[in-house]
Amino acid sequence: MNRSRSTLDLLPAIGGRYSPRAFSDRDVTDAELALVLEAARWAPSSMNEQPWRFLVTRRGAEGHAALLDGLNPSNRLWADKAPVLMLALVHRILHKLGAENHHARHDLGLAVGQLGVQATALGLGMHQLGGFSPDKVRAAFAIPDVYDLVTVLVLGWPGDADGLPEHLRERERTRSLRKPLSELVHYGRFTP
Ligand SMILES: Cc1cc2nc3c(=O)[nH]c(=O)nc-3n(C[C@H](O)[C@H](O)[C@H](O)COP(=O)(O)O)c2cc1C
């Protein structure tokens, strides 16, 4: 699972990360869950606001069915096998200034990035989802308007692609590609 897709010498937890859809039956322990959340906690944020929040649900326990129900059907199809679903939210107000925090989603992304790296280092898989209904989930959990519902994180131990619906099996065995650095990085001047 941890084969890097880069030709450069990346940290294994960065190069080996991918977004699984196949999950095994193995549960995520409280200690493993605490560790990945702790990795998110130590992310940097604008003015150290730490705007991220995580609503954690475990399969068969409080909140899980409601969060699962908020996913787009194409995501629900496989995400229901994973032992943990988490809603990732941000508080929109920068408390030190009493103003809109324009970096809140940026900061959440950093925290989730760290969570994903820590998860990969443990051998866990984490799949982020934008394909859910924020309105439905907000209503189900009575989440106030000052929070933005950004993604749902699917966490668990990667499983066998054969357990997936047929149209997803080949996709699970294929790793995504990336644009070359030359397309993404500009030195000295910007050329759109
Ligand atoms: C903000 C965000 C939203 C995403 N939403 C979905 C989604 O709704 N369904 C899905 O299957 N994958 C989703 N993904 C996963 C991406 O498709 C995936 O990260 C991308 O194709 C790169 O593949 P990799 O993560 O395996 O390297 C999302 C990823 C991010 C970061």
Per residue, the 3-state secondary structure of 69-108, as one string, reads HCECHHHHHHHCCCCEEEEEEEECEECCCCEECCCHHHHH
Whether residue 9 lies inside any domain: the answer is no
Whether residue 6 lies inside any domain: the answer is no
Measure 34 CA to ligand 1 centroid, in angstroms: 23
Whether residue 40 lies inside any domain: the answer is yes
Cα gap 184→186, rounded to integer Å: 7
The greatest distance separating any two alpha carbons of the chain, rounded to the nearest whole angstrom, comes to: 54
Section 7-29 average pLDDT: 97
pLDDT higher than threshold 60 for residue 1: no
Measure 189 CA to ligand 1 centroid, in angstroms: 31
Cα gap 169→133, rounded to integer Å: 25
User: If you count DSSP H runs as helices and E runs as strands, how many of each does the chain have, helices first?
Assistant: 8, 6
Section 5-19 average pLDDT: 95
Whether residue 12 lies inside any domain: the answer is no
What's this model's pTM, rounded to 2 decimal places?
Answer: 0.97
Whether residue 87 lies inside any domain: the answer is yes
| Atom 4 of ligand 1: nearest residue by CA position | 129
Section 121-150 average pLDDT: 98
Q: Verify whether ligand 1 is closer than 6 Å to residue 120 (CB atom).
A: no
CATH number at residue 180: 3.40.109.10
Q: Give the model's confidence band at 138: pLDDT under 50 very low, under 70 low, under 90 confident, else very high.
A: very high
Whether residue 150 lies inside any domain: the answer is yes
Measure 95 CA to ligand 1 centroid, in angstroms: 31
Q: Give the model's confidence band at 2: pLDDT under 50 very low, under 70 low, under 90 confident, else very high.
A: very low
Whether residue 3 lies inside any domain: the answer is no
Locate the ligand 1 atom nearest the alpha carbon of residue 132 and give its number: 8
Cβ atoms within 10 A of the Cβ of 190, count? Answer: 6
pLDDT of residue 34: 98
The whole domain housing 70 covers: 17-184
Whether residue 189 lies inside any domain: the answer is no
Q: Give the model's confidence band at 4: pLDDT under 50 very low, under 70 low, under 90 confident, else very high.
A: confident
Count of structural domains within the chain: 1
Measure 18 CA to ligand 1 centroid, in angstroms: 9
Section 33-48 average pLDDT: 98
